[in-house]
Amino acid sequence: MRMDRRHLSMGLLALALVVPSCATPRVQPLPADCPDIAETGRLNILTLNGLYDAPAAIRAKGWTDIAQFAVANNVHVLMLQEAVLTDVDRLQALLGTADSARDLQRVLNERSADPYELRVAWETGVPFVLTTANAMLSRCNITRHFASFLPIESEEFFEGVSLKITRNVQVAQLNIPGYGNLHIYNTHLCSACAVEALQRQVDALLAFMQQVEGKSSGNHLILGGDFNLDLAKGLPEQAVYETMTRAGLRDLYADYRRTQFGEARDTLCRQGVADIHCTIGTSPVQGLIDSRTGAALPRPQRIDYLFMSGRDLVTTSRGIFNPGNGATGPINPTELAVSDHSGVFAQITLSR
């Protein structure tokens, strides 16, 4: 999420304060299960930043494209960042949604043989007016779910005013027969903040995870989301990343590329050069702010990750929804663009 997007969000909020609002009924989640994991031990997981200010037409098409990928690739759990919720009629018309995570769940369940259960963790904004959230959609039964806020950090300065944005981490517990509890953590860290602020949020994230695991340890642990952490920026951000790896978290995509293709971690989306490894700057999709202000496409970076601890095996991992754009040229031209971010997909073989 970039500075211009926040400027639009403030404009949207100002507009929302003077237009009538209406309460949108929330549909109860459907029961979900995924017995195939118990049979095969293979878990398919996807993380994706959904672009909260996407134009209505792009958002609606994106739901279909994401659902088609999820069904074709047997995605069990989808971690979503920047889900958007609003009860304001005018904003619903502008954004094409009242609840983007709920809408994605509906489209998924229209196509999937097994229903997806939804859990949402509010992140920032004005409740009932315009908010963003992290969300998990799971075909496996979610037996526990809760969330915690991370340290509030200054992310932007607007006319001399420091803008502090609330961020969170959500955790869901899934029980896989024969494999025990699976804990999945979903987060979205600060954007355009100082590296010291990013470090504080990572430290709090790890402390929260340690606290949860200390109370009820999972047999398997996965952490994913938009970390706004670019290793190509140099040693300070690499040090933040290494805080996580020292805590026993493995970068799934980097591990897979190293073991299968001999590629070093630091060569992936290096120095802003667009390639298949980047997760932002390799899509033509822009939010409402960027499309209206003519802002340039972002520099290609790898900032979205899946991490894992323990002995589980990464069978495959790849970036998806990254076709390239007018600035980068084609990257995966046959792939669809659903957001300004690419997704990260992984298949994991669980150990017993």
210-226 residue pLDDT tens: 999 999 999 999 999 99
Q: Kindly tell me if the per-residue pLDDT of 1 is higher than 60.
A: no
Band (157; pLDDT cuts 50, 70, 90): low
C-beta separation of 298 from 191 below 8 A: no
Q: What is the mean pLDDT of residues 247-275?
A: 95
Average pLDDT of the residues of the chain: 89
Q: What is the pLDDT of residue 27?
A: 45
Q: Kindly tell me if the per-residue pLDDT of 159 is higher than 70.
A: no
Length of the chain: 352
Band (164; pLDDT cuts 50, 70, 90): confident
Q: Kindly tell me if the per-residue pLDDT of 135 is higher than 60.
A: yes
Written as six digits, the tokens of 18 are: 């003077």
Written as six digits, the tokens of 43 are: 């878990």
Q: What is the pLDDT of residue 304?
A: 98
How far apart CA 134 and CA 171 sit, in angstroms, is 10
The fold for domain 3-10+42-349 equals Deoxyribonuclease I; Chain A (3.60.10)
Q: What is the pLDDT of residue 257?
A: 98
Q: What is the pLDDT of residue 272?
A: 83
Q: Kindly tell me if the per-residue pLDDT of 325 is higher than 80.
A: yes
Higher-confidence position of 157 and 124: 124
Q: Kindly tell me if the per-residue pLDDT of 2 is higher than 60.
A: no
Q: Kindly tell me if the per-residue pLDDT of 195 is higher than 90.
A: yes
Q: Of 261, 285, 296, nearest to 335 (Cα)? A: 285
How far apart CA 309 and CA 344 sit, in angstroms, is 17
Q: What is the pLDDT of residue 29?
A: 47
Sketch the domain layout of the chain as residue ranges. 3-10+42-349
Output DSSP code: residue 152. P
Q: What is the pLDDT of residue 21?
A: 38
